[in-house]
Structure 1
């Protein structure tokens, strides 16, 4: 881990210092993602788009612009313009859509589930990354636009229904949108926002009281108004947040691209057995390399969903027929399904492996900005992309942890940092800090007592063993019980010390909830609006100036008033 000063000019509002943390030091990281970042040669055969290096973007852009593929730019631009105008996108986004229509612009893509209030902060970090990469490519002389794909057709409601904010003392506040009455298999983008006043009452009662709270909550109220669909609300929030940065939004519900979608789906049906064989082979390769495939593929896989109304159903191939098992065992022959693909392709949707391929058929995609799990399943996508004659390229999103002024003060008080929290529970951190406090000598004496007991019982046991093996074993068993009781007394003392030293326990909980909530990285849990409440709308500008999109490490941004 190392620290650098950010060279970009700062606004008068905030100052940022960046610290970079090797992903291999962060517990729980995807093994294939780590190899992709730090040992690309070992996985290059699974990622035909190339390594995530600065020369990837101009090389890919040149291949796209010189290649013979014809993209549906006119129809695509019409779809994009409709949705972006609907959600109130700014002139810069509309200008980017016009560039795409013009025929020379390429796209840097990303996407995410449409979580309540924007979901975890990583959705914003993805958008920041595509904007930064598009700007870099534009500086290199290639027209590039940043595009965010809204996964409105996802049906995992529980994944998008909650937002996590932080209260004044760092407590986690989970705000949950009520389930719709007909929730099973419903595509989340169609779910209407309801009970907005009750949701905002929770936020106003418990969220942190930052300088920008009033304006942030007002913007959220406007975006997440009763009656708006989740896709409209999420789109409006993203459009508002990135109004000055030209982010283009694509809704998975967009209509008007039937021909391109139909051809992709027909191929998925006709070549299904070959496609699944290629996927199974890739899974075998991954397992032989000691890696678990990110997406489990069975012989029944079709890569397709069937849409009916606002619900979607997985299509499986069983005995030569395609079944939507959850839809009353509705069946299609191969020819019937192909006919549906051609007649009404918008009645079908892609699964997680087919979606990026469909994206590359629609958009002149230079690269897709992906999180760790997505990066891992692109290894499987690479096995089947040649069927559609596309070569997906993946680029890791910038991982970010934001450290605000209060957290920095606590770091200084206890002489710790983000790294000290990783892989630890609050209780473990309290124990470690207590050992460095005035109680440390006493806690260490407990350790000495344990060591003395282990040494003495080992010596006595060795002398007993030739004389009485049974008593020697009894002593060994008793030792374990005595050591357990000593540890129990020590831990009880540490807990009591922390309770009586109320600041310590409270501060440690605050740090863990702020930086390592639920034993994972901040960006995977905390909603970005928490940081907007504390730091204001200029935070987006500041982060764009500070992040390093070509850096392989997790980026920790220390933010404070100038």
Structure 2
């Protein structure tokens, strides 16, 4: 199992075609390919040629420094921000803030950003900075408010935080009280198994909670703690100071909004013509920008164009282009990007050498190429994030004991588990009950025919009677098998632990489990295993043994 290679399946045909270069027609959608070494040098040259069109690097670095100051930044992160001030290229990727960082794929993305930056630095012979873009402007609370952990009883438990009362604003503007944090900490502490790291872990989280007024704050504090030594630079997309630096780009997006819309529409048609499904909505009349309505508790509202003005979907808000431009100048913090304009803003703020994306993100970034070109910009190198499955020592031993490969667990675990139990059945219990059932049916059929010949009305009664007896035989057989299997309860628990650890809730580990499980069991040593695992610029899946 140690040397097993396994490919996690992706539900994104466009992404798969891009990564593996199986469809030459989609090259124009992306431009660069991460697997081509020359692409990295070419993109670096392109960034140098466009330096004057981006935000001032010193201004961006000043915002990053101020934001990081709240997070007790590491010396490595401070050094990387200083490099950004001098114009250093970056590798950027991001995610919505999640409770205790959310599913493991968030950690995988951070590791991928860091390793992509290291790989680029080694090739290009210059400092490339890893940047994590916290999408604090997103307002889907239900995506952010939970985490799954494994309890001491080997149960998968969902820990979730209720949404505070108030307007439907973004995650970074949704206040979390000290009482709410303490409740979450108590629930987490009760759920986690006892370990030597549990006490210090909970106390670290409690200290972070004292300085966290939102999920985004806690998310940033955790990422800073986990990856500070790697120099990971953090930003919150909803940082008001960052918005002020972004103001010129917001104005450009408003001025040229019709052109942008047409660029998205044309690219969407191109994607559909190529036979691929759109992974982001391209809606006619959409401005692809959000506005926070201060008079409605900062409710985040998507803007649409109608009758020469910008309106919300219900047309209760109406604002002219000139008014929007004035607002972008005076109060840029009221604006927010959507999934189609965020890539443009990212490239305006930073000299983005490459961006690390998940499968779904790569598919919707395909819609942005025309918009980049329309603004005289160029899509950065798209780098698929790595995925990992963590295999603990005990789980590995159990897999070896039951002769299970990784693919067995991922693709046919319940069948293999059932087969193992059947192999222990030296009495052939299921077979004997099946045989008895068939024998009964054969014996009963002539009697049913006899009863029907006496009175046809007895046919239905006889058939019902036969089915009841068959059901009773099956019930007795099932109870006998269950009773027999109880002697293998220890083995069943071991098998169930394999399933819960590797494929919880029937899904890849990275999409369910939270990182605190491993912090609680191993301290932070498990992170080093991830950072040291083989890395590929074209993504892939690695099995990491802890």
TM-score for the superposition, normalised by structure 2: 0.85
Deviation at 1:253, TM superposition (A): 2.2
Task: Give 3-state SS (helix, strand or coil) of 1:401's partner.
Answer: strand
| The 10-residue stretch of structure 1 (233-242 or 31-40) with the greater mean CA deviation from structure 2 | 31-40
Give, in whole Å, the separation in 1 of the partners of 2:22 and 2:388: 22
Give, in whole Å, the separation in 2 of the partners of 1:47 and 1:451: 62
Deviation at 1:201, TM superposition (A): 1.7
Deviation at 1:496, TM superposition (A): 6.0
Give, in whole Å, the separation in 1 of the partners of 2:12 and 2:485: 35
Match in the other structure for 2:502? 515
Matched-pair contact (CA < 8 Å) for 2:385–2:539:
no
Match in the other structure for 2:388? 400
Matched-pair contact (CA < 8 Å) for 2:388–2:544:
yes
Give, in whole Å, the separation in 1 of the partners of 2:538 and 2:429: 45
Match in the other structure for 2:205? 220
Match in the other structure for 1:274? 259
Give, in whole Å, the separation in 1 of the partners of 2:236 and 2:104: 20
1:37 aligns with 2:19: yes
Match in the other structure for 2:310? 322
Task: Give 3-state SS (helix, strand or coil) of 1:316's partner.
Answer: strand
Give, in whole Å, the separation in 2 of the partners of 1:304 and 1:352: 9
Match in the other structure for 2:32? 49
Deviation at 1:231, TM superposition (A): 2.1
Match in the other structure for 1:125? 108
Deviation at 1:217, TM superposition (A): 1.9
Give, in whole Å, the separation in 2 of the partners of 1:552 and 1:437: 41
Matched-pair contact (CA < 8 Å) for 1:268–1:303:
no
Change (3 A) 1:233 1:364: same
Alignment counterpart, residue 81 of structure 1, candidates 49, 56, 65: 65
Change (3 A) 1:256 1:186: closer
Alignment counterpart, residue 401 of structure 2, candidates 406, 409, 413: 413
Match in the other structure for 1:15? none
1:298 aligns with 2:283: yes
Give, in whole Å, the separation in 2 of the partners of 1:90 and 1:38: 38
Give, in whole Å, the separation in 1 of the partners of 2:324 and 2:114: 39
Change (3 A) 1:541 1:286: same
Task: Give 3-state SS (helix, strand or coil) of 2:73's partner.
Answer: coil
Matched-pair contact (CA < 8 Å) for 1:152–1:190:
no
Change (3 A) 1:500 1:139: same
Matched-pair contact (CA < 8 Å) for 1:109–1:368:
yes
Figure out how many residues of one structure are paired with residues of the other and give that number: 514
Match in the other structure for 1:434? 421
1:207 aligns with 2:192: yes
Deviation at 1:107, TM superposition (A): 0.3
Change (3 A) 1:55 1:503: farther
Q: Which has the larger radius of gyration?
A: 2
Matched-pair contact (CA < 8 Å) for 1:193–1:225:
no
Deviations 1:519-558 (A, max 9, x none): 2211111111111111221222232122313364211101
Task: Give 3-state SS (helix, strand or coil) of 1:242's partner.
Answer: helix
Task: Give 3-state SS (helix, strand or coil) of 1:224's partner.
Answer: helix
| The 10-residue stretch of structure 1 (434-443 or 208-217) with the greater mean CA deviation from structure 2 | 434-443
Task: Give 3-state SS (helix, strand or coil) of 2:240's partner.
Answer: coil
Match in the other structure for 2:319? 332
Give, in whole Å, the separation in 1 of the partners of 2:473 and 2:415: 14
Change (3 A) 1:551 1:359: closer
Q: Any stretches of 5+ residues in structure 2 without a counterpart? A: 443-462
Give, in whole Å, the separation in 1 of the partners of 2:473 and 2:51: 70
Give, in whole Å, the separation in 2 of the partners of 1:340 and 1:440: 79
Change (3 A) 1:346 1:206: closer
Give, in whole Å, the separation in 1 of the partners of 2:190 and 2:69: 33
Give, in whole Å, the separation in 2 of the partners of 1:308 and 1:266: 18
Deviation at 1:443, TM superposition (A): 5.5
Q: Any stretches of 5+ residues in structure 1 without a counterpart? A: 5-18, 457-476
Match in the other structure for 1:548? 535
Change (3 A) 1:299 1:440: farther
Give, in whole Å, the separation in 2 of the partners of 1:434 and 1:428: 10
Alignment counterpart, residue 192 of structure 1, candidates 159, 173, 176: 176
More helix by share: 2
Change (3 A) 1:333 1:486: farther
Deviation at 1:450, TM superposition (A): 12
Deviation at 1:190, TM superposition (A): 3.8
Give, in whole Å, the separation in 2 of the partners of 1:554 and 1:228: 36
Match in the other structure for 2:147? 163
Task: Give 3-state SS (helix, strand or coil) of 2:48's partner.
Answer: helix
Change (3 A) 1:440 1:335: farther
Give, in whole Å, the separation in 2 of the partners of 1:96 and 1:53: 26
Deviations 1:356-408 (A, max 9, x none): 11001100101111111111111112232212222222101110110111211
Deviations 1:21-69 (A, max 9, x none): 223xx3x632222222223543222112334445443432233234444
Alignment counterpart, residue 366 of structure 1, candidates 335, 353, 356: 353
Deviation at 1:146, TM superposition (A): 0.5
| The 10-residue stretch of structure 1 (134-143 or 358-367) with the greater mean CA deviation from structure 2 | 134-143
CA RMSD of aligned residues (A): 3.3
Match in the other structure for 1:7? none
Give, in whole Å, the separation in 1 of the partners of 2:433 and 2:116: 55
1:101 aligns with 2:89: no
